[in-house]
Amino acid sequence: MDRPIGVFDSGVGGLSVLRELIRMLPGERFVYLGDTARVPYGTKSGETITRYSMEIANYLVTRHDIKMLVVACNTASSLALPSLRKIYKIPVVGMIDPCVRRVAALAKREAIGVIGTSGTIRSGAYEQALRLAVPKARIRCRPCPLLVSLAEEGWVEKPVTRDVIAEYLAPFREDPPDALILGCTHYPILKKPIGSFLGNDTVLIDSGEEAARVVDTLVSESGVRRNRGSSEVRFLVTDDPEHFARVGEAFLGGGIADVASVSL
């Protein structure tokens, strides 16, 4: 029960997932690893992302004896999850399946939108999973790479952010989906302007929230929930811990201290 849950992303975006994990599992220990030396993942090949993901998973398993792995990156979830689940004996939770389950549970799900990085959308992983879960739904996927930089800058209320959202999501505004999956862990930072642009009739699905619900269920069903004390988090990065701590505050919703630099 005392073994930590490992969480990784290419950078700071996965901290939005960690925030939800801490909220739902307040007694757990976490090790978060941001691969900041090799960010971004969204523009890299599937082979490269799978190799990076396996290196990180191996580090967390062998050095920190994690009891569960959360792939807090939609791009890595799209491309590396089958390999990780085949190699490691611990539960591996990605971002895609939890979001698809949420869509399938909606009362209205005739039209579904997905936004994410170029790598996530190009992989077709969300579209494939959605077609299996809700075969009659109309599915539209759209890459929105610039939203990552805007989120990291903290430009939530800036006119340029509203303009970029309007440019990317114009097809969804013309024909609003019943649900829009925020298929990048950076995007929850921009949930307010995205929601304002699309209107109240579109349900925004946050991959961090949905993944945290799955983890909550898994630790309970497997009997490995840690219930004592408050959450403990160890932060690791592969480069520039100062920048990670500064930018990551907005994603985590609080200060980040004692960030260690590691080599994989």
C-alpha distance across the termini of the chain, in Å = 26
Q: What is the largest CA-CA distance in the chain?
A: 50
pLDDT on residue 2: 87
- Render pLDDT for 60-73 as a digit per residue (tens, 0 to 9): 999 999 999 999 99
Predicted model pTM: 0.93
116 burial (CB, 10 Å; 0-12 / 13-18 / 19+) is: buried
- Render pLDDT for 10-33 as a digit per residue (tens, 0 to 9): 999 999 999 999 999 999 999 999
* pLDDT level of residue 178 (50, 70, 90 thresholds): very high
- Mean pLDDT over 227-245 rounds to 91
The set of residues, in sequence order, having a beta carbon less than 8 Å from that of 133 and lying 6+ positions away, is 100, 101, 103, 104
Rounded CA-CA distance 129/220 in Å is 26
* pLDDT level of residue 191 (50, 70, 90 thresholds): very high
Q: Output the CA angle 43-44-45, nearest 5 degrees.
A: 130
Following CA atoms 118, 119, 121, 124 in sequence, which dihedral angle do they give, to the nearest 10 degrees? 160
- Mean pLDDT over 75-101 rounds to 95
* pLDDT level of residue 42 (50, 70, 90 thresholds): confident
- Say if residues 177 and 112 touch (Cβ distance below 8 Å): yes
- Render pLDDT for 131-175 as a digit per residue (tens, 0 to 9): 999 999 999 999 999 999 999 999 999 999 999 999 999 999 989
pLDDT on residue 127: 96
Given a cut of 90, whether residue 227 has pLDDT beyond it is no
pLDDT on residue 152: 92
* Average pLDDT for the chain: 94
- The 3-state secondary structure of the chain, one letter per residue: CCCCEEEEECCCCCHHHHHHHHHHCCCCEEEEEECCCCCCCCCCCHHHHHHHHHHHHHHHHHHHCCCEEEECCHHHHHHHHHHHHHHCCCCEECCHHHHHHHHHCCCCCCEEEEEECHHHHHHCHHHHHHHHHCCCCEEEEEECCHHHHHHHHCCCCCHHHHHHHHHHHHHHHHCCCCEEEEECCCHHHHHHHHHHHHCCCCEEEEHHHHHHHHHHHHHHHCCCCCCCCCCEEEEEECCCHHHHHHHHHHHHCCCCCCEEECCC
* pLDDT level of residue 229 (50, 70, 90 thresholds): confident
Given a cut of 90, whether residue 225 has pLDDT beyond it is no
Given a cut of 80, whether residue 228 has pLDDT beyond it is no
Catalytic residues, by residue number, are 73, 184
CA atoms 159, 165, 171, 174: torsion sign: negative
Tokens of residue 72, six digits: 């807090």
Ordered by where they begin, the domains of the chain are 5-94+209-261 (3.40.50.1860), 96-207 (3.40.50.1860)
* Highest mean pLDDT, choosing among 45-49, 162-166, 227-231: 162-166
